[in-house]
């Protein structure tokens, strides 16, 4: 019997209008190098120990994210073991939320071209994200309004059924704020991903 979670009063993120766009095009495995570009922290000029994406963080999830250039999406595939469970067979909800937050942050960087932080987020759990099963997470930009970047994301299972959806507002950082977040001055190419102070 399939577990399907349906909170009675929750209306959920307002990103459903983009659902069909997120499914259009080749599957993750079928994308070419020209279409799928790896996203890494290596070129920023500062160290990262990100819990979700950093491959050098042994305690982290080490999920590699990619920019699907043609579809203007950020995507990743992942499967997590029991170390990241809540219920014995389900990925902890907080871990799923961290993955969604990370994919939307990468969308702000790769698609909107800005370092940004989450200022508001809403999520809906429709199906469990299961331990030791293949899942895909994908995010896209819904709107950019000045420093505000509205993003949407979803985690789907191997049958492309939605497990968790999320909508968030990110606020882009100016060079001083980005330096505070990184712990070093932001210079060179990384400075292009900041917003002018207002």
- What is the pLDDT confidence band of residue 26, given thresholds at 50, 70 and 90? very low
Fold observed for domain 16-193: Thiol Ester Dehydrase; Chain A (3.10.129)
Rg (CA), the chain: 17
Spatial contact of 14 and 121, defined as CB atoms under 8 Å apart:
no
Q: What would the pLDDT profile of 87-111 be if each residue is shown by its tens digit?
A: 999 999 999 999 999 999 999 999 9
Nearest to 71 by CA among 13, 161, 14, 139: 139
Residue 10: is its pLDDT beyond 50? no
Q: Which of 9-18, 51-60, 119-128, 132-141 has the lowest mean pLDDT?
A: 9-18
Please name the helix (run of DSSP H) or strand (run of DSSP E) that holds residue 20, with its range, or none. Answer: helix 19-23
Spatial contact of 195 and 179, defined as CB atoms under 8 Å apart:
no
Spatial contact of 69 and 104, defined as CB atoms under 8 Å apart:
no
Q: What would the pLDDT profile of 180-192 be if each residue is shown by its tens digit?
A: 999 999 999 999 9
Distance of CA 114 to the CA centre of its chain: 14
Residue 33: is its pLDDT beyond 60? no
**What are the sequence ranges of the domains in the chain?**
16-193
Q: What is the pLDDT of residue 13?
A: 45
Q: Which whole number is the average pLDDT over 53-79?
A: 96
The pLDDT mean for the chain works out to 87
């Amino acid at each position: 019997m399939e577990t399907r979670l349906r909170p009675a009063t929750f209306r959920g993120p307002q990103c459903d209008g983009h659902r069909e766009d997120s499914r259009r095009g080749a599957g993750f495995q079928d994308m070419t190098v020209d279409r799928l570009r790896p996203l890494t922290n290596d070129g920023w000029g500062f160290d990262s120990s990100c819990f979700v994406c950093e491959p050098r963080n042994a305690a982290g999830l080490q999920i590699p994210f990619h920019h699907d250039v043609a579809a203007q999406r950020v995507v990743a595939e992942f499967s997590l073991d029991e170390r990241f469970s809540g219920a014995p067979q389900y990925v902890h909800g907080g871990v799923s939320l961290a993955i969604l937050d990370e994919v939307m942050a990468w969308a702000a960087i790769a698609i909107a071209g800005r370092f940004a932080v989450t200022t508001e987020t809403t999520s809906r759990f429709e199906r469990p994200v299961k331990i030791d099963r293949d899942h895909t997470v994908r995010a896209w930009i819904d709107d950019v309004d000045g420093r505000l970047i509205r993003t949407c994301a979803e985690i789907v299972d191997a049958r492309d059924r939605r497990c968790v959806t999320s909508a968030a507002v990110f606020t882009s950082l100016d060079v001083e704020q980005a330096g505070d977040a990184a712990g070093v001055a932001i210079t060179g190419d990384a400075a292009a991903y900041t917003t002018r102070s207002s």
